[in-house]
Amino acid sequence: MRPDEMLPRVFLLKAGSIERDLAGIILDARSSVTLIKTERGWIIVDTGQVGDEEEILKALADLGLEGSDIDIIVNTHSHPDHCANNRLFSRAMKIYPQDGEEVTPGVWTLATPGHSPDSISVLVDAAIQQGDGMAPTSRRVVIAGDALPTLGNFQKRVPPAVHYDRALAVASMNKIIEMADMVIPGHDRPFSVREEMQNRVQ
């Protein structure tokens, strides 16, 4: 067995999104929904907003799974756009891991407060399973929730617009950037930190 076959695998079930008006006021926010396959079962990180149910269940079905196959739910924080669909996974155990706690081998959490006091990010040393036919690659993935909500926050080095403590939010975002090869942001498509850094230099 090759080492990458022993690593957790990460599947993006639904990319996050955010819609604003011309004044920058948030009109609609829907979180990313991420699935992790581990040696101890299936973990879902954030479950999305009301109205996302059909898209999430279809993405699971495309992988040969149903809601009852999910073993563990981890929410990056308790805002409803990230946890409204916990109810879809009736058999899953909802866990509240602490900073640095290992959820399963290769998966652990990092406290990333600032957006909200309870914000955590989920770190995965993973084989990335991409949906476009590409072979899995091994890298450090950070499922960041709203500690790093969009690619724009990364590019401009600005914290989430909604935060209770700006300094903490900036520190959390910087921790994520230092640790991640790939970020799954709360309200955008995944991006490679390395590639974005290279683009900034060019």
The 10s digit of each residue's pLDDT in 133-148 is: 445 566 899 999 999 9
Query: What residues contact residue 108 under an 8 Å CB cut-off, 6+ apart?
Result: 97, 100, 101, 102, 122, 123
Cα–Cα distance, 55 to 31 (Å, whole number): 12
The 10s digit of each residue's pLDDT in 163-196 is: 999 999 999 999 999 999 999 999 999 999 988 7
Residue 128 has pLDDT above 70, yes or no: no
Query: What residues contact residue 151 under an 8 Å CB cut-off, 6+ apart?
Result: 185, 188, 189, 191, 196
Cα–Cα distance, 38 to 100 (Å, whole number): 18
Cα–Cα distance, 90 to 68 (Å, whole number): 6
Q: Which domains does the chain have, with CATH numbers?
A: 3-201 (3.60.15.10)
The overall average pLDDT reported for the chain is: 90
- pTM score, two decimals? 0.90
What is the model's pLDDT at position 40? 86
Burial class (CB in 10 A: 0-12, 13-18, 19+), 76: buried
The 10s digit of each residue's pLDDT in 76-87 is: 999 999 999 999
Query: What residues contact residue 161 under an 8 Å CB cut-off, 6+ apart?
Result: 24, 26
What is the model's pLDDT at position 134? 46
What is the model's pLDDT at position 195? 80
